[in-house]
Structure 1
Amino acid sequence: MKTFKNKTLAMLCLLLCLGGCNKSLDVTPRDKYSNEIVWKNVDNLDLYINSLYGALYMYAEIEGVSLTDGYADIIKYSQTYMDTEHNRINMRPSYLSPASTEALSPWATTYEKIKSLNEFIIDAGRYGDKIDAKQLQIRIAEVRFLRAFLYHKLIVRHGGVVLRVDNEKLDGPAEKNKKRSSVDESWTWVIQELKDIAEKLPESWDAAHTGRITKGAAYGIMARSALYAKKWNDAIFGARQVEILATAKGTYMLLDDYTQVFNLTHNKEIILASYYQRLTLTHDFDRYFSPTGDMERYGGYASPTEELVSSFDIQQAGQWQAFDWSNPLHASDPYLNREPRFYATVLYNGADWKGRQIETYVGGKDGYIEYFDGNARNRTVTGYFIRKFLDSKPKDFIQEKSDQYWIEMRYAEILCILSEAYAHMGDYGKAYNYLNKIRNRVGLPNKPLQSSWTAYLQDLQKEKICEFAVEGHRYWDLRRWQLAQSVLDAKRMHGVEITKEDTGFTYSIVDCDKADHYFPERYYTVPIPEFEVRNNTACEQDLLWQ
């Protein structure tokens, strides 16, 4: 599906198309679109709906320079002041505040999108009589999904939010001052909304509309929302509906080749994604995150940490082992015989890349530099580069830009949700059954069954790090598990400084932060922006942020 990112562009295309096809439309004013045109037929309406998919794209981390994993322990940003705020938020106690909230949460833009979605839902009741009732129901469900998706993102960040969800009329001046719903009320609305619309959505779309919202996406985001809300039965119900689509109908599956999940467009593991198309809709992921040896002055904005790299197992004498630098056999050739997800996620010294080998050793073409506060150079400060989501084909990514897709949800996450929810219910047999499906896909053996939450969570954490690195899960997982303080606060992350010798390479583990991370109790919620509290007097700031 070609997705337009703003309503103006979509309406312009609509008017040009209709005007070129039917001269009788010349009387239509050119300065604004007409509801009569938009709601005339399904094709016209779909152009309008395409523009509303910008709600999905605004949270696609591939769009810009900010990866939320960079606020956690697995990605390190190389510079301090230029285009990103990760190092300032991570290590400066006074930086994150109600005045700087938008670095972590685009509150204002999200509510603007919600207003546009509400307008569509209300207009459907006024002008939708010319549209086939079943087709109209599907399109209203699409838009309601997008609205629920945006609220999901806000609640993950802020806890309770201001719910503006009237399907009959827009909030006006009389509703300007509106209090936040509680966390439970907010999640309950999202979960029920997604459950209500799921059966109204198709299981799949035809080839011309591939990429639009489906029943599986609604149940999937419902399940994820329920997991955050600690509503385990709802999480299991939603995830099981997706599992049924996979097992009974073949709609979804775990791909045999993990690498193809990120290289094969519209593959069957994907449940919800943002798609791009050169030249009409592109992004700059390669420009920001490619190895710096690909093109002078570009790439290297952020790098995998050693905490991430050491999470991937290594095979020795036919046995899979946790990687350990203190093991001489591991340290002598640290990037040989690692598990498959490592090679799909990380570019390391000696990795084959675009007809050459990566050189992250000191002085190499992609060489390591030491991080320091105030650094303005985009080079690896950990000895690694991101591999996942990069385009492996040689190209001029400055002129051509990038068009890889962003995966918001895939079937592996559904299996993780089922695993975690069953563990919370005390059914560790089912929990490990689902967790091991993910491991078995990449050729790893089953994890031994543990019968306590603490032991299970250690296994789950490692699998999620290896499975979903760079996909925007880690930071939010640490927060909802209430582990962010123990993992991040007063801690430093690491990289590897590699020196080239006549006989090979030497590896030294280095501090890549040069200062402690800062994560106090109040960071478990992102503060409400000060402009919202000022303009909406009924909206109260969290106590810890007052």
Structure 2
Amino acid sequence: MKKVKIFLTAATVAIVLLSACSEAFNTREPLGQFGQPSLQTPDGVDGLLLGAYAMIDGSGVDGTPDWNVTVENWAFNLASDDALKGTDAGDQPEQTFIETYDYQPFNGHITNRWRSLFKGVARTNDVIDAANAVEEIPDEKRNQIIAEATFLRGLFHMEARKMWRNPPYIDDEVYDVSDIESTKVPNDREIWPLIEADFEAAAAALPASQSQVGRPTSWAAKAFLAKAKMYQGWNEDGSANTTKLQEAKVILDDILNNGGFSLVPNFADNFLVGTRNNSESIFEIQYAVSSSADQASARGMGLAHPYTDPWGCCGFYQVSQNLVNAYRTENGLPLLDNFDDADVPETVDETTTLSTYMDPLDPRLDHTVGRPGILYKDFKIYQTDFVRDLSYAGPWFSKKHVAEMEGFGIGGWGNLTANNYRYMRLDMIILWLAEAEVELGNLERARELVNLIRARAANPESFVPKATQGTDRNDFTIVEGEAAANYEISLYNDPWTDPATARKAVRFETRLEFAMEGHRYWDLVRWGVAAEVLNAYIASESQHRTYLQGKSFAKGKHEYFPIPIQAIDRSVKDGQATLTQDPAY
């Protein structure tokens, strides 16, 4: 890797973490010569690395709303069948365009996501160049820094490749912070192999464990390498790429058998502040509560909180009726083919405010969705005033990302939290492995893996408890030994013999397990079924949400977003743009 002179403005980590010129897309322009003594040290390079980590959640991009760039990707998951924009019709119209498949290259959300990801790429290349340039860094430490930066570079490029069909790849060999022209590279090649190479290099150099939470291990790098292969596991026509799936299977088996991770017994422990960094976590984004909205972490999820007190803002990221219906069960199993034939009702007994839902339901529903009459985390019994406009987006609200009282933010909006984002965890590994096993003909192994997930969900100790309303809105009493609803979930006890049914069961399980975590849209795309599933969803959901009527998902186009027009305009080199637009746009 080449050594270059590094340019920065100041000798403090705080300045390192500041964002670059808002005009930059793929890099930041040089801001001052790397001549400050405190940056020519291992500590100074560590500061640069912290700046790269900050970009995982899009922090530090001037003038960019946090919800455009957050790692949870919730504003883009609005294009899935899980989520609705929520709030009211006039708020954040650019999100409505995403929700209704009106993707435009000037959409600010799309533009800012590009900016943040390639800002992250630039910072990782800064780190690698700096680590090579500062001779005082011991070789072992240098290798560790470079490995972490390489992991992050793979991560940023992976997120870009999920968003866009043909993003560029920029590494430290071409990147030169003193020359903005160095980042104007063409987007004329498939970058998945380069993403894999970054994760492979990181896996080979990173330790199996880290003393500081939030830093990647070799197991995390392997997990993201497997994810990259799973994203290549299906062709655009939905047929399996068994070569990539077999490659992924080898890695996934290794993580499951040798990584030392284990499923936590309570499904909800993956969404609580009090159980962060647990035995299931492989790579977790670390958040903290602050009294200042400008300093708190998880700012990107700030809008996605209930409209009522104690949050008070803002009512975005509501839940579709379609997703709620997916949690209906029959004999404890999902209704794979007809889950959306009937609606889970919205009715609530007015005298007790207890839900009258009697149909059997998967217990993960009430860890995922706020429903009238059901306890919402440990705050209060959910009522329909949690949403901003009931007639616009219905009664259901997202729940997983909201912290319980232990991690509830103070000051600012009051809805900023210390609820970490579990970016990579063991249940993902298990269900990816089940996907691969189905396509490789190992149906019974796939059934065993899915049953591991379902057995955990069936643990009655993890069920949301029944609660009765007191005289005060914030007062409730837990009814010991009683569940909030009629939870009924069982294992797949009959052998799987039909690949199509097994495939459907694994994919359905994936939706139930990870709903509203920012993955669903890209799962549908990588499986090659987005158009089929989302157009069926629109036909159904538009009966409840009239603004979806007449909308459609165009196969071959809407699987990816357009490259921002500003990025193309600013990629001009020698009189010609180096970036070319996705031909679908």
TM class, shorter-chain normalised? 0.7 to 0.9
Matches within 5 A, 1:261-410: 261-263=270-272, 264-279=275-290, 280-284=295-299, 287-295=302-310, 298-314=313-329, 319-320=332-333, 322=335, 326=342, 333-334=356-357, 338-353=361-376, 354=378, 356-360=380-384, 369-371=390-392, 381-393=393-405, 398=412, 400=414, 401-410=416-425
Structure 1 contact 276–404 (Cα < 8 Å) conserved: yes
Q: 1:248 matched to which residue of 2?
A: 258
Structure 1 contact 157–526 (Cα < 8 Å) conserved: yes
Structure 1 contact 527–541 (Cα < 8 Å) conserved: yes
Instruction: Verify: 1:473 aligned to 2:473, yes or no.
Output: no
Shift of 1:81: 3.4
| CA–CA separation in structure 2 for the residues paired with 1:76 and 1:106 | 19
Q: 1:51 matched to which residue of 2?
A: 51
1:97 alignment partner, SS class: coil
Question: In structure 2, do the counterparts of structure 1 residues 493 and 290 end up closer, same or farther at CA, with 3 Å as the change threshold?
Answer: farther
Shift of 1:194: 0.9
1:370 alignment partner, SS class: helix
Question: In structure 2, do the counterparts of structure 1 residues 288 and 265 end up closer, same or farther at CA, with 3 Å as the change threshold?
Answer: same
Question: In structure 2, do the counterparts of structure 1 residues 395 and 237 end up closer, same or farther at CA, with 3 Å as the change threshold?
Answer: same
| CA–CA separation in structure 1 for the residues paired with 2:252 and 2:418 | 28
Shift of 1:335: 6.1
Shift of 1:387: 1.6
- The one of 429, 438, 453 equivalent to 1:438 is 453
Instruction: Verify: 1:415 aligned to 2:430, yes or no.
Output: yes
What is the TM-score normalised by the length of structure 2?
Answer: 0.74
Shift of 1:328: 11
Shift of 1:75: 1.0
| CA–CA separation in structure 2 for the residues paired with 1:90 and 1:529 | 18
Structure 2 contact 346–372 (Cα < 8 Å) conserved: no
Instruction: Verify: 1:125 aligned to 2:132, yes or no.
Output: yes
Q: 1:109 matched to which residue of 2?
A: 116
Moved more, 96-105 or 348-357: 96-105
Structure 2 contact 77–518 (Cα < 8 Å) conserved: yes
2:538 alignment partner, SS class: coil
| CA–CA separation in structure 2 for the residues paired with 1:532 and 1:46 | 30
Shift of 1:160: 2.6
| CA–CA separation in structure 2 for the residues paired with 1:455 and 1:315 | 16
Structure 2: which amino acid aligns with 1:356?
Answer: K
- Alignment deviations for residues 480-522 of structure 1 (CA, whole Å, 9 cap, x no partner): 22222112237537679xxxxxxxxxxxx83464523321131
Unaligned runs of 5+ in 1: 1-6, 16-30, 372-380, 497-508
| CA–CA separation in structure 1 for the residues paired with 2:514 and 2:137 | 41
Question: In structure 2, do the counterparts of structure 1 residues 37 and 173 end up closer, same or farther at CA, with 3 Å as the change threshold?
Answer: closer
Question: In structure 2, do the counterparts of structure 1 residues 412 and 219 end up closer, same or farther at CA, with 3 Å as the change threshold?
Answer: same
Structure 1 contact 341–467 (Cα < 8 Å) conserved: yes
| CA–CA separation in structure 2 for the residues paired with 1:457 and 1:9 | 54
Shift of 1:275: 1.0
Instruction: Verify: 1:67 aligned to 2:88, yes or no.
Output: no
Question: In structure 2, do the counterparts of structure 1 residues 166 and 33 end up closer, same or farther at CA, with 3 Å as the change threshold?
Answer: closer
Shift of 1:140: 0.3
Structure 2 contact 100–548 (Cα < 8 Å) conserved: no
Question: In structure 2, do the counterparts of structure 1 residues 288 and 55 end up closer, same or farther at CA, with 3 Å as the change threshold?
Answer: closer
Question: In structure 2, do the counterparts of structure 1 residues 298 and 108 end up closer, same or farther at CA, with 3 Å as the change threshold?
Answer: closer
Question: In structure 2, do the counterparts of structure 1 residues 482 and 145 end up closer, same or farther at CA, with 3 Å as the change threshold?
Answer: same
| CA–CA separation in structure 2 for the residues paired with 1:404 and 1:224 | 24
Question: In structure 2, do the counterparts of structure 1 residues 296 and 493 end up closer, same or farther at CA, with 3 Å as the change threshold?
Answer: farther
| CA–CA separation in structure 2 for the residues paired with 1:277 and 1:65 | 19
| CA–CA separation in structure 2 for the residues paired with 1:188 and 1:285 | 30
Q: 1:22 matched to which residue of 2?
A: none
Q: 2:552 matched to which residue of 1?
A: 518
Unaligned runs of 5+ in 2: 1-7, 17-31, 60-66, 234-240, 348-354, 459-489
Q: 1:538 matched to which residue of 2?
A: 578
Structure 1 contact 52–143 (Cα < 8 Å) conserved: yes
| CA–CA separation in structure 2 for the residues paired with 1:412 and 1:454 | 22
Shift of 1:188: 0.9
Moved more, 77-86 or 342-351: 77-86
Question: In structure 2, do the counterparts of structure 1 residues 274 and 347 end up closer, same or farther at CA, with 3 Å as the change threshold?
Answer: same
- Alignment deviations for residues 198-255 of structure 1 (CA, whole Å, 9 cap, x no partner): 021011111xx111111111111111111112265555545644653553352x2111
Identity of aligned residues (%): 19
1:130 alignment partner, SS class: coil
Structure 1: which amino acid aligns with 2:48?
Answer: Y
| CA–CA separation in structure 2 for the residues paired with 1:329 and 1:303 | 16
Question: In structure 2, do the counterparts of structure 1 residues 130 and 105 end up closer, same or farther at CA, with 3 Å as the change threshold?
Answer: same
Matches within 5 A, 1:77-96: 77-78=85-86, 79-83=88-92, 85-91=94-100, 95-96=102-103
2:423 alignment partner, SS class: strand
Structure 1 contact 158–525 (Cα < 8 Å) conserved: yes
Q: Which has the higher helix share?
A: 1
Structure 2 contact 11–39 (Cα < 8 Å) conserved: no
Question: In structure 2, do the counterparts of structure 1 residues 131 and 492 end up closer, same or farther at CA, with 3 Å as the change threshold?
Answer: same
Structure 1 contact 225–235 (Cα < 8 Å) conserved: no
| CA–CA separation in structure 1 for the residues paired with 2:15 and 2:77 | 38
- Alignment deviations for residues 103-153 of structure 1 (CA, whole Å, 9 cap, x no partner): 3772233223212221221222222x2122112111100001111111111
What is the TM-score normalised by the length of structure 1?
Answer: 0.79
| CA–CA separation in structure 2 for the residues paired with 1:458 and 1:198 | 32
| CA–CA separation in structure 2 for the residues paired with 1:488 and 1:143 | 37
2:163 alignment partner, SS class: helix
| CA–CA separation in structure 2 for the residues paired with 1:366 and 1:539 | 41
Structure 2 contact 9–15 (Cα < 8 Å) conserved: no
2:148 alignment partner, SS class: helix
1:524 alignment partner, SS class: coil
Question: In structure 2, do the counterparts of structure 1 residues 391 and 81 end up closer, same or farther at CA, with 3 Å as the change threshold?
Answer: same
| CA–CA separation in structure 2 for the residues paired with 1:238 and 1:90 | 32
Structure 1: which amino acid aligns with 2:222?
Answer: Y
Structure 2 contact 41–136 (Cα < 8 Å) conserved: yes
Structure 2 contact 72–518 (Cα < 8 Å) conserved: no
- Alignment deviations for residues 274-297 of structure 1 (CA, whole Å, 9 cap, x no partner): 111222432347753333333485
| CA–CA separation in structure 1 for the residues paired with 2:252 and 2:91 | 42
| CA–CA separation in structure 2 for the residues paired with 1:268 and 1:113 | 28
2:205 alignment partner, SS class: coil
- The one of 148, 159, 170 equivalent to 2:176 is 170
| CA–CA separation in structure 1 for the residues paired with 2:413 and 2:561 | 37
Structure 2: which amino acid aligns with 1:182?
Answer: R
Q: 2:41 matched to which residue of 1?
A: 40
Instruction: Verify: 1:457 aligned to 2:503, yes or no.
Output: yes
- Alignment deviations for residues 254-285 of structure 1 (CA, whole Å, 9 cap, x no partner): 11100011111111211122111222432347
| CA–CA separation in structure 2 for the residues paired with 1:491 and 1:302 | 17
- The one of 197, 201, 225 equivalent to 1:222 is 225
Question: In structure 2, do the counterparts of structure 1 residues 405 and 10 end up closer, same or farther at CA, with 3 Å as the change threshold?
Answer: farther
Shift of 1:436: 2.3
Moved more, 296-305 or 147-156: 296-305
Q: 1:195 matched to which residue of 2?
A: 200
Question: In structure 2, do the counterparts of structure 1 residues 142 and 235 end up closer, same or farther at CA, with 3 Å as the change threshold?
Answer: farther
1:523 alignment partner, SS class: coil
Q: 1:427 matched to which residue of 2?
A: 442
Q: 2:28 matched to which residue of 1?
A: none
| CA–CA separation in structure 2 for the residues paired with 1:10 and 1:388 | 39
